[in-house]
Every structure is written in structure tokens, then in C-alpha cells.
């Protein structure tokens, strides 16, 4: 049996995965998500520090 060249394994043709606009949109949404997560963590840390600095009223 003779194997024909170029049919086994991955072929050398490049398949389009996604458009550049879709890639940019995904990158932008990930950046916005990471920024909002960092802001939420920073606000949580600051509010904990402020609440620990307040005197306990009895």
C-alpha cells in the first residue's frame, strides 16, 4: 500500500480561525473584565481597611 503525499496528519493549509474584528472585540472585553475585577478588589480592600480603622461603638 502506498501512501499519497500530503494526506496524513495535519495539512499545511491555514484555516481561518476568526476575523480580526472578532479577535479585537474579545481582547477588549477581556481587558474591560480584568479592569472591573481589579477595581472591585481594590474597593473591597479599601472598605475593609476603613472599617477596621473605625472605633467599635458600644
Q: What are the domain boundaries of the chain?
A: 23-58
Identify the CA nearest to 35 among candidates 24, 27, 23: 27
Q: Identify the H or E element spanning 22.
A: helix 20-53
Q: What is d(CA 52, CA 58) in angstroms, rounded to the nearest whole number?
A: 15
Whether the full predicted model's pTM is greater than 0.85, yes or no, is no
pLDDT, residue 3, reads 55
11-45 pLDDT, tens digit each: 656 666 778 899 999 999 999 999 999 999 999 99
Amino acid at each position: 500500500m502506498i501512501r499519497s503525499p500530503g494526506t496524513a496528519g495535519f495539512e499545511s493549509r491555514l484555516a481561518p480561525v476568526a476575523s480580526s474584528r472578532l479577535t479585537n472585540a474579545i481582547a477588549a472585553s477581556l481587558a474591560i473584565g480584568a479592569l472591573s475585577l481589579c477595581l472591585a478588589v481594590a474597593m473591597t480592600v479599601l472598605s475593609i481597611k476603613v472599617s477596621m480603622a473605625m472605633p467599635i461603638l458600644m
